[in-house]
Structure 1
Amino acid sequence: MTFSFDALSPADFEDLSRDLLGCELGVRFEAFGPGRDGGVDGRHAAAGDMTILQAKHYRLSDFDALARTMQKERASIDALTPNRYLLTTSRPLTPPNKDRLATIIGPSLQGTWDIFGNDDINGLLRKYPDLQKSHVKLWLSGAGVLERVLHAATHNFTSLTRDDIKAKLTVYAENPSFKTGRDILESIHVLIVSGPPGVGKTTLAEMLSYAYLAEDWELVAIRSLNDAFTHIDDTKRQVFFFDDFLGRIALDARALSNQDSDLARFIGRVRRTSNARFILTTRAYIYEEARLQSEALSTGAFDVASYVLDVGIYTRRIRARILYNHLIVARVPEAHIQALVEQNAIKKIVDHDHYNPRIVETLTNADRIEEIAPTDYPAAFIAALDDPLSIWDKAFRTHIPSRCRHLLFAMYISAEHGAEIEDLEEVYNPLHQALCRRFSLSSGPKDFEESVRTLEGSFVTISNGQVSLINPSVRDYLAQYLTDSALLRAMAEGMATLRAARALYEHFKKVPGVSGEDKAAFLISYITLAANAVNEEPWKPIRGEPNRRRWIGMSYSGQVELLRDWWKTSKRQEFLDAALVVASNRDNWFSSWADGRIMPRLIASLRAAPKAERENTTALVEALEERLIQILDSALDLDDVHRIRTEVLPRKGHLAQRIGWSADSAAHRVIAELPNSLEHVDSESTLDDFRKLVDELGPTVGATPAEMVRAKDAISSRADRLRAETPGEDALSVRGHSTIETDWFTDEDLRNLFAPLLWSGK
């Protein structure tokens, strides 16, 4: 593999040069800065009796620029009087180039063999291949590796291009978290990356994902655990990635109650599957709240703490490298960098109590810098660290028209991870019209299209038909901005879907000072929407694929539960009537995986309610019970029936007796039919779970010993076939650094790191 070193910053290239020449010469080089005497570019290292190594990463300059720089530094090299002088450069060098450099450098150079150009460095990398794997950015930027990563990533992170991935690699500051995360994944196969907002959780998870992709693993980016159960396949090497699995701003308690046991179950399967890895990210405060609320996440048997890597703390060296890399990749004008240096802002930024890589990324963005004069840049940077959400405030309030603000409101209530353009337009148009009517604003038929075009690149990104907020902090800002009750009530009048209405109402409930009466009054705006709930399907056709449909987020039982809750809060009969229509409509197909777990809990809660409530919900309970029995009578996996039965058993006292009978009958039927229904199962750990379930359920649901033996024999036979198709387990070869030298990083080190950015020709 040949490297161009484009993804490395000058400081990264210096690190690589020290490691390579250290291996070649059998010495350890220590890092040095230019020093106060100036004139020496880049980093130096000393070992033994004064051997000096100098690294020149001239990836964007020609040979003449390198030669001119070396001429300027000749006096400084002579003043150091080294016993041996070594020069590395990322530029290709011809023999005449080396001869010319040797003449310029002078007597400190023993010979042209101590000048290492691009080809020489690639030769050393081939000689010491393990070094490639410890320099993660270098390894991932290799031509063949990058193409494999790009090909696989475009099917999962749909907004990424080759340039996007290279940019991510270039700004990434290598740190011990990569190796720690890699070691956890290789040891127990599961990693939960936790930390405060904006500290690089997703970046670390992506870098780990890229490393697996580079070694031909299949990446499966998921939005639900059902996606994970559907795709796990022992015949493939797979890495599953679940970003912000507990929510982006606040814990989704409803989702947690529906998925925490599934999470424990899927983690168990991954741990027992040699060719599966599972990477999850979450904000630290959301994770801690989830642990308090979830029995599955807090139980000692689950031992969730062993999977967690907290990335909330960076050493001073890593903070400095992150800022340094962003200034280089974003090509921040030298005048702005000069202002940071002259006003001593570099030190203030790196040492700031609220230092955050996301703010660094935003404040080095080209569009942002265009708006800030060089002399004002340091103050703007520090102000953003003092108040992170202020980054978006001026642009949101003064730089975009109201129609664009309405689009961002629609984004906020549409989806945490982005929305299909057609889904966003479905939410935007009625919301925009409602706000224009309420506040006497003009509107036009092209407002949606023009708003998307205006916001692209500044507030949103668009790729493959999906619109996403350009940065998660935009969502944080909107959450803070949307606290005006009058504005939220006006938005409620423009809700077009139950999904959006639920998101808006959940946000409204968290506004300080909102009372029970306020909530009831707010919900009145939803009465017309509720009457049309029966027409809101959980699935939509996929564009260009008429025979396939995509899940859009709320099951029929979820709709019923939502409408029931709104009825209880508002006391408006219209919501309960709408819930009954959804539950009774024969055109609505309730499914085992989307509805099966919710329905026993929902039915039991209705039956256990106070008498006054029960008198109003009898018809709804009966309709839901009929639907649950229909599910149990349909074709089910052993997993499906077990999940439903697990919800039924503890609630038998509040469920009709026929529900328990139907659950047992379904389990018996599935066990008896298991020998003919295993070909779709591609995970040995899933089969192992099935074997345990046959032993656990069989005797209690009436399965005969012969039926149980046949089922387990079929499971063993399928497992044998899978093992024959399963590739051997290979550990991830890329390792990363376990340490980044010493954590002692002085003010002089800080000045030395950033000084070369001000020197022309670098």
Structure 2
Amino acid sequence: MANWEALSDIDVEVLVRDLLSAEWGVHVETFRRGPDRGVDLRVFGPSGPPLNLEPTDSIIGQVKHYPNASISRLKTAFKKEANRNNRNSVTRYLVVTTAKMTLAGKEAIASLFNPPLHPRDIFGREDLEALLARHEQVERRHFRLWISDTITLTSALNKRELGLKRHVIESISREAPLLVKTRHFHAAEQILKEEGSVIIAGPPGVGKTSTAHLLIADLIEKGWELIVASDRIDDAERLRDPHAKQVVYYDDFLGASLHTAFLDGKNEDARLLALLETASEDQNLKVVLTTREYVLAAARQSHPRLLQSRFDISRLLIDATELDAYERAEMAYRRIYHSPYRFILDQPTSVDDWLPIIGHRDFNPRLMRLYMEACARMLPAKMEAQSIRDFIIGFVEALDDPSELWRTIYDDHLTDAQRYLLQTLVTMPSSVVVEDLIVLTASWACSSTFSPTETQWRAEIRILDGDFISTYTDRKGQTASNFANASISSYVSYRLAMELETVLRILDHAVLFEQVEIIFRLIAGRLPPRETDSGSFDIEDWLEDYEREIVGHTRLWSINEEEHERLQTAIRDAVVRTLGVGHYSNHPSFGNTPKRWMKTHVYMVDRLEIVLAVVEALDLADDSDLAHRLADACKSNLDYSTNDPVRLVKVFETLQRKAPLTWVDAIGNLIESAEPLLFRHLKEGSDFIAAIRYLNLIGRPNESMLLGDKLRNAARNYSPSEQVCFWSEIDLRYFINDFDEAASMIGLDIIEDLSELRTRIEARMRAIQPPSFQNLPTPRQEPAPKHVVVGDLSLSALRKAASILVPGVSSKTKEGDAESPD
């Protein structure tokens, strides 16, 4: 018997479409959710039997998903449709409902229309179930209809295993209305078909178990017997029947945490591998396993047999960021539809209201479930329109703050060393070479009682790889690492901002200015607003371009006076120590040594405004000694900073306008020291713009007029380099505009010179061909876990997908047979 309550209204419309298409042999249209003007289904002629429609004929229909409705409720619903008078413009008008219908009920519905409907055009539940019996292939595609009864029947036939199966059976039945066949499901299905087994791995909450449950339901529908392994592989071995089609399911087969990441029992790893190898050769055996990737990494260190390629060939790494816009929207729709708050989907919301949810960078199915469960405990049964907006805003805030998802894992499942590595990684501006990550972490984390070797640090990184961090080989052949998921980075940032002692230790040993900058941004929300010479320093304004979802929750508390003094000293010393240290980069030209950042140049213009923010926030304006030390550090790096002379002068202008009074002398000396560098090479338009603005800044504007001849000669004699082969038309336009802007600043007319310059550069661009990259060596291929192609999250895709959550959209979008929630 079909489980109609497990379907949403969208499911029912698609099911009816498929049934009528199969029954009549015609294309039946359905439409996206929205104002339907009484049309859920549509068929155009011509067609052959049994419809025999003429070219000008058409059929439309209305579908009502009211599985438990009384005849009086049905009459109320269809009376509204009857008043639309749609029937007069079509050949036939269909009424379809999932409610049970008696003869008298059908007659009552038919009489609502004028003229009355023919009984053949009224479909109740009994009619739909008759169609399902005739078209089993349609029923198989709509798994939510049959999954509960089929699994229950299968389990009853296998009494030996009923106890082990019960939890899985109940979970799949309960979750069926919420399950979505995503790209992860189709990828796992393909691996299972080719290899006989699939290991679904990934971070918590991304849909591993849901994907496995869909695979199991699909196999059971095809006649496979389910075997559930709970604690040991021998659960599966004991119930294995070589003559029966069986699927072995082992959820979290390595345990839920790093501390339990072992295979208990004698030769358990060998027995698991043997089971997978058997599945690869035996057509009657399938194996579905799930695990957290970091747990598998830990187990592979203790059990070398798990390093065999079979575990990589069958492994699918999944991540919620790979879901496309429609998959995300459907997950949100199903969560809301099958909750006490279904009415939200009928309230006046817009597409733009839902975009922050389905387009969120940390979109996560488990977070949706947690939020809906929290709503069930806290929200009223009915909400006003404003409360519904608050519901949506709360949904976004739940995605912004991943603490609920990661707190248990971070506190209970990770070792101290692993937490230290993540805390170091979050202070870095980009991907970090593994050797560097170890050096940086060890510099502050090691003590007399905690001093891992490099080998031990690497072992911890291997365990984190996959779920918490991702490692890859860069162009230099170095192994680099970064966070595997934005929500992990957000949570680690949040936790680090809470741990002042850890922050102070990292600052005391920081070797990169970027570390100091990131830590300052993280803890800035804890600093109380204060008055300065330039007025109130608003940290929110300074952080407006920073990722607010990281620093937002640190505003729940502030530090006390003693902590403020300690933090003031630590950041001050770290700024002075690191201001002149080179930028961290993975670019191959910067070398291949663990401390190569010490050898790079510094773009000082990136740092001066940050220093000013630190000074104001930490009340360091009276520290004139600090001002001179910082100015000296800047002077030694100004040469490299003149690669962007206009930006350098803009920073000077900002410093002169905002610097504390006690810093005037130091800033003045710094600005004066830049003059020889800015006037050393006046070659391009930007050089002249910077020079003119600099002269205005230091109070010598009249000298700008003396640059006219040099500017004209530069435009006339500029010789394009080979780099112009990489320029676009926009690059060329900006280059010419720089000369034009500089000339206008001093009232000089060089239009003809610029026209000739453009012609010379365009000729050079055509003459030089970009270097060929066809002969680069192909990297050696190794067995590796599989990934899916990242889904479409463009704005147009998100807006189209979000329309299923909105009761009113401007127009209908035709779905046809190509699109289905399944």
Q: Under a length normalisation based on structure 2, what TM-score does the superposition of the two structures give?
A: 0.45
Q: Which has the larger radius of gyration?
A: 2
